[in-house]
């Protein structure tokens, strides 16, 4: 069967070989024409009158560009200031715009179990949006990885590592190692209290990432490479994003079908309350911390860990 | 009209910042300066959104009572939007910075016009 199809195909194609031939043959007349065009161009450009004309046109282009740019900026600014002059006064409630907000404020504690309404909003009502944000961060990290990764075996990287190794500086090294646990504890505190007080996954994750950055800047990359390898970064980011997607997918499925939500809300104000908000905060914090440290490591030396 | 503009001075400053950033994008040829202009635009936008959410004499949206009244707290929606914006701005800045590093490694300049001229020349040589 297959053989017959193949032979039919060959027969069909037998007359078309000259069209299928993709190998480019040097065309003598084409090369000649091209060089003639180039000679003509050079002759034209060497003409002083032509040069003056080109310069004049370039200057005219720049003048017009500047004029249009200034005009558009001024117009843009004036339109926006005009709009602001017709907006409600600063610091006064706007009943039309506050409809959604008042619903969040009045029912948010009952519906999400989070004392901090902003956390309840971004991780419960608008959790899909926050998932997108986490993926934006992850995509940014992946793009930087593609663009900046040099590789560990590159001799330039090794030289760079020796040059920027600060671990021989005793004061810097000791202070960095001393400060590191305190910042980590503070970051974990901010993440775990995201549903109770201002903070949450994004701010706490940034604090964790900055702790890693401080450690690697003061104690050298050798120290952080031991904790924070490329593999672990991959695993942590993947686990956090996967957990977020699965958990929120489960909740969306239940909500769309009108089923009972088995995740307990807990007592408002307790650490273990707010349903999925605490685990989602932890997931977001992990992604943000990995991304921040990954950005620093990539920009500093073109690799994360040893990879 | 003018009194509204004066009372909305935060939003007005935010829009002026936005226009400064836009002008930086248009007039600077250096890629890093363009990036800084982009970040100034972001800052203007965040200032605008946060000042939209503020309401005089009200508390931050952290609810400590059983029956909450919406008139006690500020508007929480712009805060969430600013959070989204900051995250996106960080990622975009990182990607643009890495792109400009790659461009500098290839062309040894950050000037947009010079890079464009060099790419034109390269294309001509390829033909």
Per DSSP, the residues of A134-173 read HHHHHHHHHHHHHHH---TT-HHHHHHHHHT--TT-HHHH
pLDDT at A144: 93
Per DSSP, the residues of B43-110 read HHHHHHHHHHH-BTT-B-SB--SSS--GGGB---HHHHHHHHHHHHHHHHHHHHHHHHHHHHHHHS--
A1 touches chain B (CB under 8 A): no
pLDDT at A26: 59
Q: Has residue A23 got a pLDDT over 60?
A: no
Percent of chain A with pLDDT over 70: 85
Q: State which residue of chain B sits closest to A137, comparing Cα positions.
A: B91
Say if the Cβ atoms of A85 and B102 lie within 8 Å: no
Of A101, A106, A288, the CB nearest to B75: A101
Q: How many domains does chain B have?
A: 1
Average pLDDT, stretch A157-182? 80
In this predicted model, which residue has the larger pLDDT, B23 or A158? B23
Q: Supply φ then ψ for residue B111, to 5 degrees.
A: -75, 125
Of B11, B83, B102, the CB nearest to A122: B83
Q: Measured between alpha carbons, how far is A261 from A252 in angstroms, rounded to an integer?
A: 10
pLDDT band at A228 (very low <50, low <70, confident <90, very high): confident
Q: Has residue A20 got a pLDDT over 60?
A: no
Q: Measured between alpha carbons, how far is A292 from A286 in angstroms, rounded to an integer?
A: 10
Of A102, A126, A148, the CB nearest to B101: A148
pLDDT band at B64 (very low <50, low <70, confident <90, very high): confident
Beta bridge partner(s), residue B30: B111
Residue appearing with tokens 């201002």: A198
What CATH code is carried by the domain that includes residue B83?
A: 1.10.287.3510
- A101 contacts in B (CB within 8 Å)? 70, 75-77
pLDDT at B69: 80
Selected for mutation to probe chain A from B34, B75, B99 (highest A CB count within 10 Å) is B75
CA A14 to chain CA mean position, Å: 52
Rounded to two decimals, what is the model's pTM? 0.82
Task: Name the residue range of residue B46's domain.
Answer: 2-126
Q: Measured between alpha carbons, how far is A275 from A253 in angstroms, rounded to an integer?
A: 16
Highest mean pLDDT among A11-15, A193-197, A229-233, B15-19: B15-19
Q: Has residue A1 got a pLDDT over 60?
A: no
């Amino acid at each position: 069967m297959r053989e017959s199809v193949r032979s039919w195909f060959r027969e069909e194609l037998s007359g078309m070989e000259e069209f299928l031939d993709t190998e480019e043959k040097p065309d003598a007349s084409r090369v000649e024409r091209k060089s003639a065009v180039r000679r003509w161009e050079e002759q034209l450009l060497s003409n002083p009158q032509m040069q003056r004309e080109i310069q004049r046109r370039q200057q005219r282009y720049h003048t017009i560009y500047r004029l249009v740019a200034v005009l558009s900026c001024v117009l843009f600014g004036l339109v926006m200031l005009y709009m602001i002059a017709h907006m409600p006064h600063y610091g006064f409630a706007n009943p039309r715009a506050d409809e959604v907000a008042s619903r969040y404020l009045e029912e948010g504690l009952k519906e999400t179990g989070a004392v901090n309404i902003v956390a309840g909003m971004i991780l419960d009502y608008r959790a899909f949006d926050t998932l997108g944000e986490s993926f934006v961060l992850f995509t940014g990290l992946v793009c930087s990885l593609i663009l900046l990764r040099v590789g560990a075996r590159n001799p330039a990287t090794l030289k760079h590592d020796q040059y920027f190794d600060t671990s021989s500086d005793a004061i810097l090294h000791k202070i960095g190692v001393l400060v590191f646990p305190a910042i980590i504890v503070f970051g974990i505190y901010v993440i775990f209290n995201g549903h109770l007080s201002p903070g949450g996954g994004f701010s706490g994750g940034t604090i964790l990432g900055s702790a890693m950055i401080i450690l690697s800047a003061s104690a050298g990359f050798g120290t952080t490479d031991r904790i924070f390898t490329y593999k672990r970064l991959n695993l942590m980011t993947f686990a956090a994003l996967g957990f977020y997607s699965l958990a929120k997918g489960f909740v969306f499925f239940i909500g769309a079908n009108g089923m009972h939500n088995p995740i307990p809300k807990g007592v408002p104000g307790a650490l273990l309350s707010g349903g999925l908000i605490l685990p989602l905060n932890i997931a977001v914090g992990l992604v943000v911390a990995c991304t921040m440290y990954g950005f620093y490591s990539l920009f500093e030396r073109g690799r994360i860990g040893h990879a | 009209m003018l009194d509204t503009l004066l009372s909305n001075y935060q939003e007005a400053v935010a829009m002026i910042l936005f226009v400064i950033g836009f002008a930086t994008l248009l007039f600077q040829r250096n890629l890093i300066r363009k990036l800084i202009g982009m970040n100034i635009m972001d800052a203007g936008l965040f200032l605008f959104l946060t000042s939209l959410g503020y309401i005089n004499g009200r508390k931050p949206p952290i609810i400590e009572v059983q029956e909450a009244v919406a008139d006690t707290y500020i508007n929480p929606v712009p805060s969430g939007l600013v959070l989204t914006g900051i995250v996106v701005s960080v990622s975009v800045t990182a990607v643009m910075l890495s792109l400009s590093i790659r461009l500098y490694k290839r062309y040894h300049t950050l000037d947009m016009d010079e890079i464009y001229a060099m790419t034109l020349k390269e294309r001509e040589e390829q033909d």
